[in-house]
Amino acid sequence: MTRLPDQHPQAESDQTLLGGLWSRFWPSRLAPEQARNTAQMRLIFAGALAITCFAGIGAKAFHLATVSAQGDTEVHVRLAGADRGAIYDRNGRVLAQTVPVMTLHVDPKQVLDPYEVAEKLSAVLPELTKQDILAALSRKTRYVELNRKITPRRHAAILGLGLPGIFITPSNLRTYPNGAEAAHILGQVNRDGLGIAGIEKSMQATLSSGRDVTLSVDLGVQAVVRRALAEQIKTFEALGGTGLVSNIKTGEVVAIVSLPDYDPNQYAVAEQKALFNQATKGVFEMGSIFKVLNTAIALEAGSAQLSSSYDVTRPLRIGGFPIRDYHPYDRFLNLSEVLVYSSNIGSARIAEEIGPEVQRGYMEKLGLLGRPALELTETARPLYPSSWGRLSSYTISFGHGISVSPVHVMGAIGAAAGDGEFIAPTLLKRSPGEVIERVRIFSSQTTRKVRSMMRLVVSHKDGTANFAEAPGYLVGAKTGTAEKVKGKRYDKRANLVSVVAAFPIHDPEYLVFVMVDEPQPQKHSHGYATAGWVAAPVIADIVNRIAPILNVHPVDINQPEIRRNLEPDLRIGGKGAIRASY
């Protein structure tokens, strides 16, 4: 056989092999028996080829499905904040933690029949309607989250539906086991696990590194304050309110409540007004609470003594602005009576002797002219006059013309009613032996006299905080009622009422502040909606309930130690000396 010049021996062999196979399966002439055999071989070959093709297609489909699901998980469901630290109260109770959850999500592009998916999923997820699911499936995205917390039972039910495009993947969820109990303190994280409010935001660096944070807050005290305040807000049909408790000796904030509040587990549906933290972000004119500071400054500056007296028989006018008393007096009042009776005129006359410059200097040292150094980003700068003149000093003496937050009040009153040292409030639990930064503002002699007057505000029959009395706990307090500004004018029908109290007053351990926003007169309060009727009873309720929690024991007011720590010679009502332990 002659080989052509371009023909290769291997090519010739391949042709011969293919030709042999072709002739075997499709011979040109077949005998009957051979034809049957050939047909059988053809069927076997075709069947094997079909099986191979279907197996290949199935393997590819399985591969695509598993890779797609894994890809969606990696791209869309990040295990954000998996190692984020927990937040605890001072006793080790969990306030915030990250827990593993199963998340239900869908890839709309892989859904074959949206109506079938909506029909079947709505039966398993009653919180979602068919319309909700159809709307989700119509979104132009590869990832739509339907439920962040799928229970095991629902998980099994959804898997049993066999719906393409539906995925259940592991994720993490930041949870707040106590709901709204400490919402404004804790704040919130976003979907990427980053803090966006409260401690979650201010302590982001610590928490995101996996370290836990222990707060100074006591969850039990927090619950007591929240419930007592909420009950009184409801009783007096008020707009809201705030309550705080702090340790005078350490500056630790034991409770912060701002109402209305919200559930941080349902942050997305919270109302805007509920998100606002009145205790730290709101600034208000505090009214007569400032008379405590005015008295302490006068005593410390040497511009007043217990025996000093002030003419309150007629309104005090300056620049056409009249200063009046809620209850007029037709005689001179001494220093103690000005505070116990809550005389605006007397306070203004005390401020006149202090002088604007000295008054402003003390206010600055008490932290009232700057943003509080609290571990929250939601704090506010106070509002005060740029020109601190005579008129400003008069009104500031009784808490008008300057707006501060409740946290400001806690720090300042803590110095005046404690041992005279200013300690910046903190939300972090102090460690044993920790050195606390203290600034001496008032002497022990000054604070002893101020505490004694605060006690008489509660215990004397003419005091304005009689309803703050908590038998056995020797409460000292001061009330404050301030008209709110509406339309550039003070509205007499819209008041902020507040009380600040220390207990036990002979050796204060804790400070309590309560403020109620726009309480309405009630029949049981004889038409009054003042601090004495609204806020003072809340103080008594809180003290009675938190004292056992805080390990504060009832005291006998006749003990010599108590008498030594309170001023023995205060003259109220022109009836001679009265012991502050009265």
Rounded Cα distance between 324 and 317, Å, is 9
DSSP 8-state secondary structure symbol assigned to residue 109:
G
**How confident is the model over 269-307, as pLDDT tens digits?**
899 999 999 999 999 999 999 999 999 999 999 999 999
Contact status, residue 560 vs residue 453, Cβ threshold 8 Å: no
Work out whether strand 144-147 and strand 166-175 pair parallel, antiparallel, or are unpaired. Answer: unpaired
Q: Is the dihedral of CA 13, 16, 20, 22 positive or negative?
A: positive
Cα-Cα-Cα-Cα torsion 262, 267, 271, 273, nearest 10 degrees, comes to 60
Question: Among candidates 90, 374, 96, which has minimal Cα distance to 218?
Answer: 90
Domains of the chain, earliest start first: 222-578 (3.40.710.10)
Q: What pLDDT score does 548 carry? A: 97
- Per-residue confidence band for 20, with pLDDT thresholds at 50, 70 and 90: low
Of the given ranges (43-57, 90-104, 378-392, 480-494), which has the lowest mean pLDDT? 43-57
Beta bridge partners of 100: 172
> Cβ(251)–Cβ(124) under 8 Å?
no
Active site residues: 288
Residue for token digits 């009653």?
126
Report the distance separating Cα 524 and Cα 529, nearest Å. 10
pLDDT value of residue 7: 47
**pLDDT tens digit string along 327-365?**
899 999 999 999 999 999 999 999 999 999 999 999 999
Read off the pLDDT of residues 181-197 as tens digits, 9 standing for 90 and up: 999 999 999 988 899 99
Q: What percent of the chain has pLDDT over 70?
A: 85
Q: How far apart are CA 297 and CA 353, in angstroms?
A: 11
Give the whole-angstrom CA distance, residue 270 versus residue 130.
25
Asked if residues 442 and 295 have their Cβ atoms less than 8 Å apart, the reply is no
Distance of alpha carbon 311 from alpha carbon 320, whole angstroms = 19
Calculate the alpha carbon distances from 282 to 228, 261, 285, 400 in Å. Answer: 21, 14, 10, 16
> Does the structure show a pLDDT above 70 at 502?
yes
Confidence of residue 579 (pLDDT cuts 50, 70, 90): low
Decide if 272 contacts 449 (C-beta within 8 A): no
Burial 364-383 (b: 16+ CB within 10 A, else e): ebbbbbeebebbbbbbbebe
Give the whole-angstrom CA distance, residue 331 versus residue 314: 9
The helix (run of H) or strand (run of E) holding residue 372 is: none
* pLDDT at residue 29 tops 80: no
Q: Does residue 550 register a pLDDT over 70?
A: yes
**What's the per-residue H, E or C state across 24-74?**
HHCCCCCCHHHHHHHHHHHHHHHHHHHHHHHHHHHHHHHHHHHHHHHHHHH
Evaluate if residue 326 carries a pLDDT over 90.
no
Contacts of 48 (CB under 8 A, 6+ apart): none
pLDDT top residue among 302 and 155: 302
pLDDT(12) > 70: no
Q: Return d(Cα 554, Cα 545) in angstroms, integer.
A: 12
Q: Could you tell me the pLDDT band of residue 152, with boundaries at 50, 70 and 90?
A: confident
Angle, vertex CA 372, rays to CA 368 and CA 378, nearest 5:
130
Cα separations in angstroms, 254 against 81, 300, 573: 28, 29, 37
pLDDT of 13 above 90:
no
Comparing C-alpha atoms, which of 508, 549, 347 is closest to residue 423? Answer: 508
Q: Does 560 score more than 90 pLDDT?
A: no
Q: Is 455 helix (H, G, I), strand (E, B) or coil?
A: helix
Alpha-carbon separation of residue 19 from 22, 30, 46, 117, 363 (angstroms)? 5, 16, 19, 55, 108
CA-based angle 505:290:513, to the nearest 5? 55
Q: What is the 3-state secondary structure (H, E, C) of 182-222?
A: HHHHHCEECCCCCEEEHHHHHCHHHHHCCCCEEECCCHHHH
pLDDT of residue 192: 85
Q: Which range is least confidently modeled, 28-32, 119-123, 557-561?
A: 28-32
pTM, full prediction = 0.82
- What is d(CA 371, CA 378) in angstroms, rounded to the nearest whole number? 10
What is the sign of the dihedral through the CA atoms of 461, 467, 473 and 479?
negative
